[in-house]
Structure formats: structure tokens, C-alpha cells
A and B are shown apart, each in its own frame.
Chain A
């Protein structure tokens, strides 16, 4: 199980930049000055990309920790934190 946790760590690590790329690509293709929906306005995209980028970085860090075996054993008490 620990081996699987570590291997999947690489997947989470790669998923972070993929999410950022997909969001930026979607923003570029949907922002339209003539469009009327929220999806066509730049502001929601700016907010979403700026809030999702640190989350995607968090996912990469999570993946890195998983890959390094930090989740092989979880703390049993708060004294270990």
C-alpha cells in the first residue's frame, strides 16, 4: 500500500500544473467582450485562476510529500505534529 501511495504521489504532483494549464486555456478561449455570461467576463477567471493556483501548488506539495513517504504512517497523537 505504501508503494502505491508513493507512486500516486507522482500523479498528484503532475496534476497541479495540468490544472493551472487547463484553467488558463479555458480562460483564454472563453473570455469574450461580446459575451454576456459570467464565463465570458475576465474578472471571474482572474479570481478563479488566482485562487486555484495556490491550491494546485498545494496539490503538488501533497504529491511530493506522498512521493517522499510522508503519508506512509499518519501521526497517532497530536504530540507528533
Chain B
């Protein structure tokens, strides 16, 4: 495609849809605590089992499976209609999650319906990315392929940004109580249908990829993309190389720098919910332009060099950076303003009980650097006088300097993400031939991101249960995987850019 205007039309149509798919996928994750409470009550063992399935199966099994199903379709019938289908599937599932009545209303049907819709989301996501990346790459000039495809690469981070932004906004508009205990949490899901309708309308007006059309008109499309991708050694060895030398390391860097960091500042640094998410949002805004910068630089320096530098930086710097995040929020190292400490006591009768009461003590400490920490202790005293163990929660709101430092550390880690992720679409597209490109690139991408990346929280938790570990030990998983991928990529990958992807 020669017209710059046409290229931007292709990029914006593809990116808008992919961004919405990521938004849809993330709102479920971001609202998982509320969803769990509404649909998967702990008291019901089957619901709890379905909850675990929804968490694990959607990312680990269904995403790679979606890559196979839709990758095959994309190589058989074309890119355009396949990634239209994934968009409709994703948007429809997300909207319907927002409509499912709670467990309290329809019992066991609620968790089953939510699980089914979550699996459809995972399936759709597995098919979307490969289509969008291939579609854009097959439209743009070879010399700037890294630059143009990097716009698709911004969508995953912008989807996270959009989901956090919508959740925080709706939470403010409806109020925390209505959002959490009422129906406020449903609005981010329902909003998806409008976003998807607009995106489908735009995508319907786009043409099929010129390289795919050329292949189709000459009758050279693959008859069996799965067999050609994974059954023939010459191509299969490249799929394995893409997985172990690139997407595996990229996946763990992606998840650690964004999701693990978000989880770490909430659960280990105990930063207040709204401040923690605002810190992530600002860091994402600061770092997002680097997707374009590194995508563009990969056209000059090669894809491999930039991606592997990002992996190496992550492997070397994660521990010191997370250590700094923890130190920034550690109030034991801060100077307390003792005469400003406030203590409040409150007692109330527990509703629908035989005289039980709940006693709440709230201590707010203020520190010299502007940080404040709220410690809330709730203790239930039964009618007979027996005291149940107190439940203590801590919440820290950082002062200005601490907040800026935390934003800087997380933005730096998101820059590592932009290094590994910015050039990867161009890299994967160039690795495989047009006739089986969608199938061949989708599987290593979704195993790298869905399985290796998605396992970061689980394996990090697993490591912290081992004797002698501390709050930073969970980082060994992404560090080792990124280092391994760095070694494999350095040795076996080529930094040469394939200018002809029409073959």
C-alpha cells in the first residue's frame, strides 16, 4: 500500500479493535474480586471450582487454543473476516458478563454462564492479535514495518490503561458502595458493546490484506495451515525458536512490569487502591510512546537486539527496582509526626445477630514526607463476651516525593516492556510465510504471553511459600525465564530484517 492515508486507516481500524479486546479481557481481571463475590461464593465448592477454572483456563488453555482455531481460519479464509469474528465474540461475551444475574438470583447458573463467557473471551483474544499484527504488517512498507506495527503493540498497554481508567471513573461516579455492592461494576462490561459496535463498523469497511488476496488469487493459500505450521520440521523449528528465544521472555517481562508491579504495590507496599491504580495509569502514559520509538528503532537496529536488551534489563534490574518500590512505601523508615496521629473508636451492633457487636479502631499516622498510613482494626465481640481475633488492615497514601518515585520506577519497567513488545509483531511476521503466518505466529505469541506471562502471579506465590524466601523472591521466576530467553535468543536468533514478507 503506497498511500500514507490508507496505511493510517488500516492501523487505526486494526488498533481500535485490538485495544477494545484487551480492554474487555482486563476488566474481568481488574474486577475479579467483585466478580468472585457476586458469582463464585466461597461457601459453594462447585462455584469456587468454577472460579479457579475461570482464572486459569481462560489464559492458559483457551488463549493458545484460540490462536490455533482462529489462526487456521485466518490462513484459510483471510485476515479481515477472522479478526472481525474475534472482535464480535469478545465484545458479545463481555457485554453478556455484565448482564448475567448474580449467584444470589439464579444460583449455580450464574458461575457457569460467567465461566462460559470468560472462556469465549480467552478464545477470542487468542485469535485477535495474530490477525491484527499480520493485517497491518501486510499493508505497510518493509522499511518501516517495525514503526507501523508498533501501533498495534501499544494496544495491550492502552487496553489496560482504558480498563483502569473506566473502572476508576465509574467507581467515582457511582460511589464505592454502589460500585462494589450494587450494580456499578456492571457498567464497564456493558460499555464494551458500544466500543465494539463502533470498531466492527470501522473494520467492515476495510479491505482484505493485499498479500493474502494475491496468494488467494494465485491459488497458493494453505490447504492445512495447522499441518504446515507444526507438522513440517522446517517451519516447526522456527515456531519453537520464536517461543523460547523471544515470546517466552517477552511474556514474563510484560506481566511482571505491569500486572505484578500493580499487585506488588497493592499487596506488599499496601498502597491505597485509588493511588496505586493512578500510579500505574501515569506510568503507562509516560512509557507508552516508547512502543513507537523502539518499534521504529527496530527498523534500523534490528528486532532482536532491542528485544533482547529489554529482556536483559528486566532480568538484571527487577530485584533492585522492586526493592526500591518497597522501600518507598516502607513507613518503618519514615519519620512519624507523633503529635498528629489520630485514633478513632467506633462500636456498632451486628445486624441480624443475637447481640454481637463490632468494634473498630482506626489509627492514622502522618509522616514527615507527606505519607499517611491508616491502620484499621476490626474486632467482633459475641453476645456472650467472647472476643474473636481482630482483623487488621493497613493502607498507605504516599506523599508527593514517594508518589513521583514510584511512578518513575514503574514507568522504567514499562519501558522494558516497550523494548521487548514494540518490535515483536514485525519480528514474528517476518519469521513465517504468508500462507501460514496467522497460525504460526499466533501460537508462540499466546503461549509466551498467556502461559509464561500469565503464570507470573501463581509461580511468584509458589516461590514465596518456600522456606527462607522474602517479598522479592517471587521475582526469580520472571528473572530466570527472561534470562533463559535472552540466552536462547542471543545464540539462535538472527538480527537480520526480512524485507520480503510477500513470499
Chain A interface residues toward B at CB < 8 A:
1, 4-5, 8, 12, 26, 30, 37-39, 41, 43-44, 47-48, 51-52, 55, 58-59, 61-62, 65-66, 70-71, 74-75, 77-81
**Leading 9 A-B pairs by shortest Cβ distance:** A78-B433, A78-B503, A62-B240, A71-B492, A47-B56, A65-B237, A81-B235, A81-B234, A43-B52
Other-chain contact of A75, B53, B238, B240 (Cβ < 8 Å) = B238
A62 and B241 contact, CB distance less than 8 A: yes
Interface of chain B: mostly helix, strand, loop or mixed: helix
Chain B residues lying within 8 Å of A78, measured Cβ to Cβ, are 432-434, 501, 503
Segment among B91-99, B359-367, B388-396, B458-466 that sits at the interface with chain A: B458-466
Other-chain contact of B56, A4, A8, A43, A55 (Cβ < 8 Å) = A43
Who on chain A is nearest to B500 by CB? A77
Interface size on B, residues (CB 8 A): 40
Chain A residues lying within 8 Å of B189, measured Cβ to Cβ, are none
Extra contacts, 11 of them, besides A81-B234, A81-B432 (Cβ < 8 A), are A4-B491, A5-B492, A43-B49, A43-B53, A44-B55, A44-B458, A58-B243, A75-B234, A77-B503, A78-B433, A81-B232
B458 and A48 contact, CB distance less than 8 A: yes
Chain A residues lying within 8 Å of B451, measured Cβ to Cβ, are 51-52, 55
A48 and B235 contact, CB distance less than 8 A: no
Who on chain B is nearest to A72 by CB? B492
The smallest beta-carbon distance between A42 and chain B, in angstroms, is 10
Chain A residues lying within 8 Å of B434, measured Cβ to Cβ, are 78
A30 and B462 contact, CB distance less than 8 A: yes
Residues 416-456 of B, flagged 1 when their CB comes within 8 A of A and 0 if not, give: 00000000000000001110000000000001000100010
Chain B residues lying within 8 Å of A70, measured Cβ to Cβ, are 233, 237
The smallest beta-carbon distance between A73 and chain B, in angstroms, is 9
Bound: A43/B49 CA distance, A: 8
Q: List 30 A-B contacts (CB under 8 A).
A: A8-B487, A8-B491, A12-B244, A26-B462, A30-B462, A38-B458, A39-B462, A39-B465, A47-B60, A48-B56, A52-B451, A55-B243, A58-B240, A58-B244, A59-B240, A59-B244, A61-B236, A61-B240, A65-B233, A66-B492, A70-B233, A71-B237, A74-B238, A74-B493, A74-B494, A77-B503, A79-B503, A81-B232, A81-B234, A81-B433
Bound: A37/B465 CA distance, A: 11
Chain B residues lying within 8 Å of A26, measured Cβ to Cβ, are 462
B166 in contact (CB, < 8 A): no
Chain B residues lying within 8 Å of A43, measured Cβ to Cβ, are 49, 52-53, 56
Chain A residues lying within 8 Å of B234, measured Cβ to Cβ, are 75, 80-81
Q: A38-B52, A38-B55, A62-B241 are in contact. Are A47 and B433 (CB under 8 A)?
A: no
Bound: A81/B436 CA distance, A: 11
Chain B residues lying within 8 Å of A80, measured Cβ to Cβ, are 234
Chain A residues lying within 8 Å of B240, measured Cβ to Cβ, are 58-59, 61-62, 65
The smallest beta-carbon distance between A51 and chain B, in angstroms, is 5
Who on chain B is nearest to A27 by CB? B462
Most chain B C-beta atoms within 10 Å of own C-beta, residue among A8, A37, A71: A71
The smallest beta-carbon distance between B399 and chain A, in angstroms, is 34
B60 and A48 contact, CB distance less than 8 A: yes
Other-chain contact of A51, B52, B61, B488 (Cβ < 8 Å) = B61
Residues 196-237 of B, flagged 1 when their CB comes within 8 A of A and 0 if not, give: 000000000000000000000000000000000000111111
B183 in contact (CB, < 8 A): no
Chain B residues lying within 8 Å of A79, measured Cβ to Cβ, are 503
The smallest beta-carbon distance between A54 and chain B, in angstroms, is 9
A37 and B461 contact, CB distance less than 8 A: yes
Bound: A44/B455 CA distance, A: 10
Chain B residues lying within 8 Å of A5, measured Cβ to Cβ, are 491-492
The smallest beta-carbon distance between A34 and chain B, in angstroms, is 14
Chain B residues lying within 8 Å of A55, measured Cβ to Cβ, are 243, 447, 451
Chain B residues lying within 8 Å of A52, measured Cβ to Cβ, are 451
A81 and B455 contact, CB distance less than 8 A: no
B57 in contact (CB, < 8 A): yes
Chain A residues lying within 8 Å of B60, measured Cβ to Cβ, are 47-48, 51
Most chain A C-beta atoms within 10 Å of own C-beta, residue among B64, B455, B492: B492
Bound: A55/B461 CA distance, A: 21
Chain B residues lying within 8 Å of A12, measured Cβ to Cβ, are 244, 488
Most chain B C-beta atoms within 10 Å of own C-beta, residue among A4, A5, A74: A74
Q: A38-B55, A43-B52 are in contact. Are A1 and B491 (CB under 8 A)?
A: yes
Who on chain B is nearest to A79 by CB? B503
B498 in contact (CB, < 8 A): yes
Who on chain B is nearest to A8 by CB? B491
Which chain B residues numbered 240 to 295 have a C-beta less than 8 Å away from chain A? 240-241, 243-244
Other-chain contact of B465, A30, A44, A59, A75 (Cβ < 8 Å) = A30
Bound: A16/B236 CA distance, A: 17
Bound: A37/B458 CA distance, A: 10
